[in-house]
Amino acid sequence: MNSLPSSLVRSLQVAACVVIILWGIRTTSSVLGPLLLGLMLAYAVVPFPTWLMHRFKLSKRRATTLTAIALTASGLVALFTLQVGISRLAARVPLFEQHWAGLYDQITLLISHFRGVDVDKVSIQNVLTSQQLGAMILSIVPQASAIASEILLICLLAALLVIEMLPDAESKPGPIASALEHPGIYARSYVVVTAKSAGLNALINLVFLIAVGVEAPFLWCILYFFLAFIPFLGPIIALAPPILLALLMLGWKTALLVACVLILVQVIVGNVVMPILAKKAMSISFLEFTLSLIGWTFLLGLPGAITAIPLTLVMKGAIAKDLERRELPEQTLA
């Protein structure tokens, strides 16, 4: 070991430290995931009580109380909209079955023209029925309960972090708030830009889906808004249900129109509007975006996919700041 060059030894030490850190992140992902999501939510929320304190000269307690009331009301409205949409879809399941049977017959008729394909082995009763749909819902209920409890934990962590980040009227920010201030610049930029672009995209989608006549348009737009925070995959997943529903209820021509318009709006907002909103706040290349999404998703799962861009921006900012700190003494000596 002593015969190796010092630069090689240092590189091996750095590589070993990186491997240990990544292993630790992967091992503690079940704890780090909700914590990072709560921190990201806190960064998104904290500007509102700060604005209330500065604009209306409110105390920290009153500002946080009003913020909690506003967020609770918004969450209840969103949950009510989701509940109405899901209930409406559930009530129309028999109608969906009828349309699915007709669509299935058309597909089998088309497939029957190809040689070597035996369509008699596939029965419509084995494809989609209300009983199978009910079984699917029952299998999802335990997962939904676990997701709801995790969301509650994330909201609780976010509330505690917001209280910690808000400075008192006559005191300086605490050590935790000071430590989180610099990473908060990148996280807030990402949340604000994503929320604005996703909100605009969801609003355009809502108007179009209502005009076309797709079932439960508010449900799909709310789903799109939240899934937009998952880079790349989220919008694709959110656009699939209204397209499939249009195919089922309105025919393939309308479904093709819905798919083309929704994808076109996504491309325009993602490639024209979002860069205008982001400017230099989210300076990240496509390669960095792809690698960060793959890496953080591998390490943290779904929370890593949601927080991939802000985590990468924080790392880039920390590296740039460290390089500036190292160059400053060299320039002083020169």
DSSP 104-143: HHHHHHHHTTSTT--GGG--GGGT--HHHHHHHHHHHHHH
Query: Is the model more confident about 241 or about 99?
Result: 241
State the Cα–Cα distance between residues 308 and 1, nearest whole angstrom: 37
pLDDT of 231 higher than 90: no
Q: Count other Cβ atoms within 10 Å, centred on residue 233.
A: 13
pLDDT of 56 higher than 60: yes
State the Cα–Cα distance between residues 275 and 65, nearest whole angstrom: 35
Q: What residue segments make up the domains of the chain, in order of their start?
A: 29-333
pLDDT at 115: 54
State the Cα–Cα distance between residues 236 and 256, nearest whole angstrom: 15
- Residues 77-81 have a mean pLDDT of 81
Structure pTM? 0.75
Indicate the range of 69-73, 189-193, 277-281 predicted with least confidence: 277-281
Task: Output the six-digit token pair for 284.
Answer: 């990240």
pLDDT of 178 higher than 80: no
Q: Maximum Cα–Cα distance for the chain, whole Å?
A: 84
Tens of pLDDT, residues 208-222: 999 998 888 888 898
pLDDT at 242: 92
Query: Is the model more confident about 130 or about 69?
Result: 69
pLDDT at 162: 85
Angle (CA) 306-156-199 rounded to 5° is 45
